[in-house]
Amino acid sequence: MKRESWKSRIGFIFAALGSAVGLGSIWRFPYIVGENGGAAFILLYLICLALIGFPVLISEILVGRTTQSSPAGAFSQLGRSKGWKWGGKLTIATGFIVSSFYSVIAGWTLGYLVEAVLGNLHKFKLSDDALVHFTNLSASPLWTVGFHVLFITICCLVLLTGVRKGIELGSKIMMPLLFMVLLILVVKGMSLPGASQGINFLFSPRWDLLTPSAIAMALGQAFFTLSLGQGTMVTYGSYLSQREDIPRSCIPVVLLNTLVGLLVGIAVFSIVFSAGLTPSSGPALIFETLPVVFSQISWGYSLAVLFFVLVTIAAITSEISALEPAISYLMDEKGWSRKRSTFTVAFGAFALGIPSALSFSSWKNVTLFGATFYDIVSNLSVNFLVPIGGFLAVLLVGWRWGIQPAFENLKTGSVSFFQDRPYLASYFRVCIKYTAPILIVFILLNLLGLY
Ligand code: PFF
């Protein structure tokens, strides 16, 4: 079977950007910026992107492009041992696990899009009403599992049509749409009375809030937002032609992803502060605070619909990228057709997602050390498996394959890029070989509480 490939470099950029921009950039990034020092945190985050996110992204794409193979084949080719193949398989498994619970939360956003269209999200007088509405919906197994299956079915339809027609074309249509919706939200948000307070919350630098935990958070965010450590970028790199310029293809992804996070922050905090509310964190911000805001401002109905269109699109392009490594593995290693691989992986992610979906209702009390199934799989994968996957990628490139041959390979397609900027060559070598692995070990030790 001939390996699929991107039709154009722009197609790759849109697909990788679609993967990066997701729930992590939309609800997590703006909130942690506001909570952890505003502009001071943004600076820290940018440093983390430069020292760890960008070099790991380049390494993963390079591994994929060089081997033209799924992460398992890629790791075993360059690592030349069974152990490395298992490393590759671990990253695929991580992507698969992430896709299972990611689809549950994405299902809520789809459900909230339906709520917004039905006009149910702009009639709350008190924040308690919005909270009760959300608690009732998320406590209904029919609602959570129903939207989980609907969301995964949509992703399955995109994936069935393949790399070019499905992922590439889908991202090329959905990403510009996302930017348009986002711009409307930003303009409307900033024109609301009191919006400037929200912008202050986001951008005024508060250096005293830069604690060690803020540093770990900035590193973790840089990782998750670029979809690293879970086979996604290795797989997307494997659809890239050998002649393609890797650094030039990745720079727009990193910059635009950061821009989206900041723009969402401006839109959300302008809207929240204009209603005289204080922002809450994580899911509560989207599902509990924003509906109260939509109920109080003019244009509430349209803003609610637009906002949930935005989040749902972002979630679709991310979910498909988390499912694709496992699909590509089954096609490469088992010789299965795309159709059979897609159905199998999507069904598996759906099934594994059910206990996560039920963790908010009937399985709420099924816990281990006080953590529900959802808590366990999401924390385990995001906090441990993802950094381990990224660590394996830089270890493979910097030490096992060898930084010298790896760098020679990276220069294919990028000769002019490095000729014009010779200093970047040392930057990549040092970051891939030393800085990124050391910083990842720092995150892991920090999370284990060993430090
Ligand atoms: N980058 C996505 C986000 O920020 O929401 C999350 C993600 C998508 C992680 C796909 C991993 C992945 F494979």
Q: Are 273 and 103 a contacting pair, CB within 8 Å?
A: no
Beta-ladder partners of 368: 371
Q: Are 109 and 317 a contacting pair, CB within 8 Å?
A: no
pLDDT given for residue 220 in this prediction = 81
Residue 301 lies in a domain: yes
Helical packing angle, 403-411 and 54-67, nearest 10°: 80
Place of tokens 């972002």: 314
Highest mean pLDDT out of 32-46, 149-163, 288-302: 149-163
| Percent of the chain with pLDDT strictly greater than 70 | 98
Highest mean pLDDT out of 155-169, 336-350, 356-370, 375-389: 336-350
Apex CA 232: angle with CA 229 and CA 233, to 5°? Answer: 85
CA of 122 relative to ligand 1 center, distance in Å:
29
CA of 159 relative to ligand 1 center, distance in Å:
16
- The total of structural domains in the chain comes to 1
Atom of ligand 1 nearest to the CA of 228: 11
Residue 305 pLDDT greater than 70, yes or no: yes
pLDDT given for residue 149 in this prediction = 98
Residue 384 lies in a domain: yes
Determine whether the shortest distance from the Cβ of 231 to ligand 1 is under 6 A: no
| Percent of the chain with pLDDT strictly greater than 90 | 66
Beta-ladder partners of 134: none
pLDDT given for residue 281 in this prediction = 67
Domain CATH code at residue 164: 1.10.4160
* Listed range (159-163, 213-217, 231-235) with the worst mean pLDDT: 213-217
Residues with Cβ within 8 Å of residue 67, at least 6 apart in sequence: 73, 74, 77, 78, 238
Residue 218 pLDDT greater than 90, yes or no: no
pLDDT given for residue 213 in this prediction = 78
Hey, which of 167, 235, 321, 381 would you mutate to test ligand 1's pocket, going by the most ligand atoms within 8 Å of its Cβ? 321
Determine whether the shortest distance from the Cβ of 25 to ligand 1 is under 6 A: yes
**Can you tell me the mean pLDDT for 314-343?**
96
pLDDT given for residue 201 in this prediction = 87
Write the single-letter amino acid at 294.
F
pLDDT given for residue 52 in this prediction = 93
Largest CA distance in the chain: 63
Closest CA to 285 of 297, 276, 277: 277
Residue 212 pLDDT greater than 90, yes or no: no
pLDDT given for residue 124 in this prediction = 84
Q: How confident is the model at residue 379 (pLDDT cuts 50, 70, 90)?
A: confident
**Can you tell me the mean pLDDT for 335-356?**
97
pLDDT given for residue 210 in this prediction = 85
Residue 451 pLDDT greater than 70, yes or no: no
**Can you tell me the mean pLDDT for 218-232?**
92
Residue 214 pLDDT greater than 70, yes or no: yes
Residue 42 pLDDT greater than 70, yes or no: yes
- Expressed as residue numbers, the domain containing 148 is 9-447
Residue 278: phi and psi, rounded to 5, are -105, 145
Whole-angstrom Cα distance, residue 195 to residue 68?
Answer: 48
Residue 3 lies in a domain: no
Residue 167 lies in a domain: yes
Residue 379 lies in a domain: yes
Q: How far is CA 241 from CA 63, 309, 402, 415, 443, in A?
A: 12, 33, 22, 15, 33
pLDDT given for residue 398 in this prediction = 97
Residue 4 lies in a domain: no
Given its phi and psi angles, is residue 227 left (phi above 0), alpha (psi -120 to 50 degrees) or beta? left
Q: How far is Cα of residue 250 from the mean position of the Cα atoms in its chain?
A: 15
CA of 321 relative to ligand 1 center, distance in Å:
8
What digits encode the pLDDT tens for the residues 82-99? 999 999 999 999 999 999
**Can you tell me the mean pLDDT for 246-268?**
93
The pair of three-digit structure tokens given for residue 210, joined into one six-digit string: 């830069």
pLDDT given for residue 40 in this prediction = 92
pLDDT given for residue 27 in this prediction = 77
pLDDT given for residue 126 in this prediction = 74
Hey, which of 90, 94, 227 would you mutate to test ligand 1's pocket, going by the most ligand atoms within 8 Å of its Cβ? 227
**Can you tell me the mean pLDDT for 407-423?**
91
Determine whether the shortest distance from the Cβ of 99 to ligand 1 is under 6 A: no
Residues with Cβ within 8 Å of residue 275, at least 6 apart in sequence: 194, 292, 293, 296, 297
* Terminal C-alpha separation, the chain: 49
Hey, which of 102, 105, 234, 345 would you mutate to test ligand 1's pocket, going by the most ligand atoms within 8 Å of its Cβ? 102
**Can you tell me the mean pLDDT for 206-218?**
84
Tell me which residue has its CA closest to atom 7 in ligand 1. Answer: 227
Whole-angstrom Cα distance, residue 79 to residue 17?
Answer: 28
Determine whether the shortest distance from the Cβ of 224 to ligand 1 is under 6 A: yes
* Listed range (40-54, 285-299, 390-404, 428-442) with the worst mean pLDDT: 285-299
Residue 278 pLDDT greater than 90, yes or no: no
Beta-ladder partners of 371: 368
Determine whether the shortest distance from the Cβ of 383 to ligand 1 is under 6 A: no
Write the single-letter amino acid at 161.
T
Whole-angstrom Cα distance, residue 442 to residue 451?
Answer: 8
Q: What is the 3-state secondary structure (H, E, C) of the chain?
A: CCCCCCCCHHHHHHHHHHHHCCHHHHHHHHHHHHHCCCHHHHHHHHHHHHHHHHHHHHHHHHHHHHHCCCHHHHHHHHHCCHHHHHHHHHHHHHHHHHHHHHHHHHHHHHHHHHHHHCCCCCCCCCHHHHHHHHHHHHCCHHHHHHHHHHHHHHHHHHHHCHHHHHHHHHHHHHHHHHHHHHHHHHHHHHCCCCHHHHHHHHHCCCHHHCCHHHHHHHHHHHHHHCCCCCCHHHHHHHCCCCCCCHHHHHHHHHHHHHHHHHHHHHHHHHHHHHCCCCCCCHHHHHHHHHHHHHHHCCCHHHHHHHHHHHHHHHHHHHHHHHHHHHHHHHHHHHCCCHHHHHHHHHHHHHHHHHHHHHCCCCCCCCCECCECHHHHHHHHHHHHHHHHHHHHHHHHHHHHHHHHHHHHHHHCCCHHHHHHCCHHHHHHHHHHHHHHHHHHHHHHHHHCCCC
pLDDT given for residue 450 in this prediction = 67
Highest mean pLDDT out of 141-150, 259-268, 413-422: 141-150
Buried/exposed 193-213: b ≥16 CB within 10 Å, e otherwise: eebeebbebbbeeeeeebeee
Determine whether the shortest distance from the Cβ of 381 to ligand 1 is under 6 A: no
* Listed range (179-183, 333-337, 369-373, 446-450) with the worst mean pLDDT: 446-450
